[in-house]
Amino acid sequence: MKDKKFNVKTESLAMMAICVALAILFGNGRVLSLTISPFRISIGNLPIALAGIMLGPACGAMTGVAADLLSCAFVGYVPIPLVTVGAGCVGGMAGLAYRKAARFRESLRVILAVTSGHVVGSMVVKTVGLVLAFGYPLLPTLIGRIVEYTLIGTVECILAIVILKGLRRAGLFRPPR
């Protein structure tokens, strides 16, 4: 029996790097981003979710972790481990949900992928990380972040569907089955 090893193609690494750069730009780069502690209104998770959808859960998770760590380095923050794990969950869960929903229409697969990434990564894991790190009250923070990511997630779902449709038409993306 052969040992299966995780193997990432150069093309996938390049796409992950582009997604990390876009996540930093959209998340902390002051492009389409507004921070009102503990809330950040941005589409910074969109490239992370797209990495999970296009490249798979493992690459999506690695993209999220890399984006969070590099973003902290560029802005001068100390990384918060649970927030970093949450960023990885956004990409990992998006990729996993997209793969598991293979029998559904493409747009529904994307909606399920982006939504699951936000529910697990942004609404639960990152919220717990922020509460533990900064002492924010749990319930008001959780409710606020649920509202925030419901709105952001809706925008990101629409953008992801449009982007993936364009990439598919250009021959740059084939949905895995």
Domain ranges within the chain, ordered by starting residue:
10-169
pLDDT of 37 above 90? no
- Residue 30's pLDDT is 62
68-110 pLDDT tens trace: 999 999 888 899 999 999 999 999 999 999 999 999 999 999 9
Q: The tokens of 87 are what?
A: 């960023």
- CB-CB neighbours of 14 under 10 Å: 10
Average pLDDT, the chain: 90
Flag whether pLDDT at 66 surpasses 50: yes
What pLDDT score does 1 carry? 44
The predicted model scores a pTM of: 0.90
- Among 15-19, 60-64, 84-88, 171-175, the range scoring the smallest mean pLDDT is 171-175
Q: Please state which of the four CATH numbers 3.90.180.10, 2.60.40.10, 1.10.1760.20, 3.40.640.10 is assigned to the domain occupying 10-169.
A: 1.10.1760.20
- Residue 7 above 80 pLDDT? no
